[in-house]
A and B are shown apart, each in its own frame.
Chain A
Amino acid sequence: MNHNLPEERLARLLDFMGKVTASATHEIKNELAVINEQSRLLQEMLAMAENGREPDPARLGQLIGRVVVRVGQADQAVRRLNAFAHGADLDRGQTDAAHSLQKIMGLFQRPADMKGISLELAAEQGPALQVRPILWEQLVWACLEKTAERAASGSKLRVGMSKREGGLRVEFCLEPPAPVEAPPPESLCLPEVQVRAEGDGLLVLTTPLA
């Protein structure tokens, strides 16, 4: 991992990784809790069948179908967390910005759900960035947090990424609009990236292209 980062930057990075991990594991634990309840109910229905109370086949089928869906959701959450964890292994290299945005927005879904806001991503398949993936992802997470800070329940947080001359343009804004108080701390910025408040949202500009 990034051992040559200044202490404050490293502390913020650990904080970010802690938040993402806590949120993702909470999501996984919730899925497991539901799967546990559904499996136990199935077990109890079978036990009742042994005592002469016939289970409703339609209800059994519905429960088993739901278990399969929840296992799939838990698996997706584990995959997202695993992909995120491996991003920390990578040093400065070619970061696929669109893929990275998609990954972090997937991980940000739970905090967004807790605030009652939905997420929308419109990203052109962009060029790769010459940045450390984990630091870019930390910056994206911070922009999502800052934009979501003042969102009312029912809002939509939109992220749009497009190519611009010499780099990428990523916009974060709310619908209905609510002004972002301040951009993320400067210490999160990367030499290749600028972040500023623009209109009611945040604008991230990157250079150079890989």
Chain B
Amino acid sequence: MTGNAPTTETPPPQWELAAPILEFHQVSFKGTGETSIRMNKFSATIRTGELVEVELERQHNPRDLVSMMLGLNPPDAGEVLYSQQDWLGIDYARHFQMRSEIGRVFAGSAWIQSLTLRDNIHLAMRHHGVTETDAEEKVEHWIQRLSGHQLAKVKWALKKRPSVVEPSVLALCQLIRAMANHPRLLILERPLRFMLESLYDNFVSAVDDLRASGTAVLFFAGGRDEYRLEFRSPVISWRIINGTMNTNGRRRP
């Protein structure tokens, strides 16, 4: 075949992959406790707009794994990249800037107990230069969006310290804090554990809207009801097999 001969082959489809937000390259991680989720030469990528669902068993605690993803604990081996930047070195200002773009709902302790919930929710935004008016507006928007019939309770709770607020309201406030500053990556650790079922639809639509605007979502689902949420397709599933994260997942029926 000569170089100028006409070809009958159709050119390969030219689509562009969405930008990678969180990348794992051969990551090994043991964690600190028996309930920690491990990684064994784990490689995967979460891209803008993607939703990755990880199904947790009752005994699993994703906290230290997520902290490793955020560069707070180093992995035993391999590399974790956020927005194509690593967590290595002593450029702490860059690391903190990167973390400020990530929304996180914590499994377990999530609040600074000496501050009110309002101050807790505003804290990161104000620290990273969002004006008080803008922060108020954003928080108000997400309160209206997520709270449903719990609206009055949430507004009351904002003036209180976390220790006197009931868990279902705290769960809502955690979501508000994580979503308020339009994160590029949203990591949810058992976000619905204490949330009322009647608010699940609000949660799903909020997550889908964030995805539509480019947020990548890593969702550690912690209960049967959570596996059945109707997110917009595609939903990528990762599984935990023998306590180790695996990308060969499939949504539970």
Real binding pair = no
Q: Which of A's residues lie within 8 Å of B, judged by CB? A: none
